[in-house]
């Protein structure tokens, strides 16, 4: 879920493992759609079709009014046949905790790997801590973040000085 820079990087790794990649994206972007990494694209109007087709659902969507609660309620019931694993490395508010717990207990999804959760840090009282089919990791970018940030800054500085478009710009019209 999400075919921006991070999504395409993840897709490139998974493609090398021989996986078939389905991508959920908000709008058409020809440069991404012609990348050869995504085998089939889905759009928000066919979210149920996308979810039902997955063995793994990897959320990397940004937090926007359109994505907040996107998987909450009974949305994941369409996954009951395949029982995919849910991986959340995007934003925690794509699904509320009660809906996630219900989807796991109902068997709609088999496992959850959570780097992000709706409330961070996850309260000690959360039932997610007790669930055997849930893995929770600390939401941290890792030891190389400073080096990466410096590289991005220097590359964007060079682009700016050359009067070229910058990388990783936020489009306030779409809120990410």
C-alpha 23/C-alpha 8 separation (Å) is 9
Residue 82 appears among annotated catalytic residues: no
Higher pLDDT, 145 or 171: 171
Give the domain 5-140 fold. Rossmann fold (3.40.50)
Q: What is the pLDDT of residues 119-155, one digit of tens each?
A: 989 999 999 999 999 999 887 755 656 677 778 888 9
What is the overall mean pLDDT for the chain? 89
Output the pLDDT for position 149. Answer: 73
Residue 139 appears among annotated catalytic residues: yes
Of 75, 82, 102, 139, the catalytic one is 139
Output the pLDDT for position 65. Answer: 92
Of 40, 120, 155, 175, the catalytic one is 120
Instruction: Name the residue ranges covered by the structural domains of the chain.
Output: 5-140, 142-176
Residue 120 appears among annotated catalytic residues: yes
Q: What are the structure tokens assigned to 154, written together?
A: 């220097």
Output the pLDDT for position 117. Answer: 93
Output the pLDDT for position 34. Answer: 62
CA 81 to mean position of chain CA atoms: 21
Among 52-56, 92-96, 145-149, 153-157, which is the least confidently predicted range?
A: 145-149
Of 27, 33, 91, 132, the catalytic one is 91
Nearest to 111 by CA among 60, 68, 142, 76: 76
Q: List 57's β-bridge partners, or say none.
A: 86
DSSP per residue over 14-52, as a string? Answer: HHHTT---EEE-SS--HHHHTSS--SEEE-GGGHHHHHH
């Amino acid at each position: 879920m999400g075919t921006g820079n991070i999504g395409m990087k993840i897709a490139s790794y998974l493609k090398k493992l021989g996986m078939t990649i389905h991508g959920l994206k908000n709008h058409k972007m020809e440069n991404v759609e012609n990348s050869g990494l995504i085998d089939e694209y889905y759009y928000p109007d066919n979210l149920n079709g996308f979810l039902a087709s997955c063995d793994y659902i990897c959320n990397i969507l940004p937090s926007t009014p359109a994505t907040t609660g996107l998987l909450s309620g009974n949305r994941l019931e369409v996954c009951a046949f395949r029982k995919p694993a849910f991986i959340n490395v995007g934003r925690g508010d794509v699904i509320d905790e009660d809906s996630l717990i219900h989807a796991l207990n109902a068997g709609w999804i088999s496992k959850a790997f959570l780097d992000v959760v709706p409330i961070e840090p996850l309260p000690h009282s959360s039932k997610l801590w007790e669930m055997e089919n849930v893995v929770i990791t600390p939401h941290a970018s890792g030891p190389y973040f400073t080096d990466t940030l410096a590289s991005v800054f220097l590359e964007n500085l060079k682009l700016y000085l050359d009067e070229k478009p910058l990388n990783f710009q936020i489009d306030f019209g779409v809120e990410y």
